[in-house]
């Protein structure tokens, strides 16, 4: 079969979550009772509809909320990952609370999990064992550790560790730890220790990556999003960040991609989004692993003594 190309389908299974992290932006009512992608269409309808896109190579991205806190997500992924046109590099953002369920019900090395470490809910050993179990199935993309005040303080007081120690621990099982800036400090130039905090984070990601994640590149430029990246709503409607128009419907098997590149002025401060822009050379597909690779290379190139940051 001649393929039409590669596309990313972005899903938000639910904004519900089993955690209540202090830095989360989602309203409590949504975290508790938010809608799910299975409210209007059961798993089998989502499974059947994906078969209508066999003329594409399809990469998936799931975020939330916690995608695995609802029934249906594992069953859906188990069936979708069996499909040849659903390609490796499926990024799923998860708090890994449901690691056992993931490992038992939808094991697939097509999936690369972005495993957030929330210290309020998992001890270090609990997190390590959950990630290790999933790593043994080749399902881990990276561990994401937010350098928040809570996390840095508890990392030191509970375990006598700093961020470099945490990185080294997960390196034992071949897992990359991403050190993410807390928005309260990293996105606030008025923060009195902003420069110090930024230099701390720049030990782990490049300055260029820092700028992309802060939305510093605002110039108008061409973008491939309307050709390659689409959000699938709970009703199956396709949309894209580059336009307000409808691109078709998942359940109808209709995807009307743009025929030409579009100009865009958005800042795109998202690892998933900015690789689709035409003003950088980042890989737009399997982009989580590409992010890990380039920032691991950056860390290997940095030859300076580690400087800790304490609140």
- Residue 308 belongs to a domain: no
pLDDT band for position 300 (cuts 50, 70, 90): very high
Which whole number is the average pLDDT over 220-224?
96
Which whole number is the average pLDDT over 177-201?
97
Give me the pLDDT at residue 24, please: 78
Query: Total domain count for the chain?
Result: 1
Are 177 and 143 spatial neighbours (Cβ–Cβ below 8 Å)? yes
Distance CA 14, CA 98 (A): 15
pLDDT in tens, 134-171: 999 999 999 999 999 999 999 999 999 999 999 999 99
Which pTM value belongs to this model? 0.95
- Residue 170 belongs to a domain: yes
- Residue 178 belongs to a domain: yes
- Residue 307 belongs to a domain: no
Give me the pLDDT at residue 22, please: 74
Give me the pLDDT at residue 2, please: 75
pLDDT in tens, 243-254: 999 999 999 999
- Residue 306 belongs to a domain: no
- Residue 194 belongs to a domain: yes
User: What CATH code is carried by the domain that includes residue 149?
Assistant: 3.20.20
pLDDT in tens, 57-113: 999 999 999 999 999 999 999 999 999 999 999 999 999 999 999 999 999 999 999
Residue 39, pLDDT above cutoff 70? yes
Residue 23, pLDDT above cutoff 90? no
Top pLDDT among 3 and 48 is at 48
- Residue 310 belongs to a domain: no
Distance CA 167, CA 158 (A): 16
pLDDT band for position 1 (cuts 50, 70, 90): low
Average pLDDT, the chain: 96
- Residue 292 belongs to a domain: yes
pLDDT in tens, 65-81: 999 999 999 999 999 99
Structure tokens at 164: 């470099």
Give me the pLDDT at residue 309, please: 97
Residue 122 belongs to domain spanning: 6-301
Are 12 and 46 spatial neighbours (Cβ–Cβ below 8 Å)? no
Distance CA 232, CA 10 (A): 6
pLDDT in tens, 261-286: 999 988 899 999 999 999 999 999 99
């Amino acid at each position: 079969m001649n393929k039409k190309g590669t596309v990313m389908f972005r899903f938000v299974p639910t904004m519900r979550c089993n955690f209540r992290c202090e830095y989360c932006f989602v309203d409590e009512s949504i975290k508790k009772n938010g809608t799910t992608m299975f409210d209007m269409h059961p798993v089998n309808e989502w499974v059947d509809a994906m078969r209508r896109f066999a003329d594409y190579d399809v990469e998936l991205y799931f975020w939330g909320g916690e995608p695995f806190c609802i029934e249906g997500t594992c069953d859906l992924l188990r069936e979708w990952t069996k499909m040849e046109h659903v390609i490796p590099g499926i990024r799923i953002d998860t708090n890994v609370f449901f690691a056992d369920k993931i490992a038992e019900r939808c094991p697939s090395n097509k999936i690369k999990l972005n495993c957030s470490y929330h210290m309020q809910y998992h001890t270090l050993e609990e997190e390590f064992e959950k990630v290790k179990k999933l790593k043994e199935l080749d399902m881990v993309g990276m561990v994401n550790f937010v350098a928040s005040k809570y996390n840095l303080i508890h990392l030191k007081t509970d375990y006598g560790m700093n961020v470099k120690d945490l990185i080294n621990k997960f390196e034992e099982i071949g897992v990359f730890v991403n050190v993410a800036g807390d928005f309260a400090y990293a996105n606030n130039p008025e923060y009195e220790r902003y420069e110090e905090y930024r230099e701390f984070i720049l030990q782990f990601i490049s300055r260029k990556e820092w700028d992309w994640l802060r939305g510093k590149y605002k110039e108008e430029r061409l973008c491939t999003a309307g050709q390659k990246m689409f959000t699938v709503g709970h009703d199956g409607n396709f949309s894209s960040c580059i336009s307000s128009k409808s691109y078709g419907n998942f359940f109808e098997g209709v995807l009307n991609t743009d025929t030409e590149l579009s100009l865009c002025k958005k800042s795109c401060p998202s690892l998933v989004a900015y690789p689709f822009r035409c003003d950088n050379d980042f890989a737009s597909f399997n982009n989580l692993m590409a992010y890990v690779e380039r920032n691991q290379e950056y860390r290997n190139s940095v030859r300076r003594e580690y400087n800790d940051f304490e609140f």
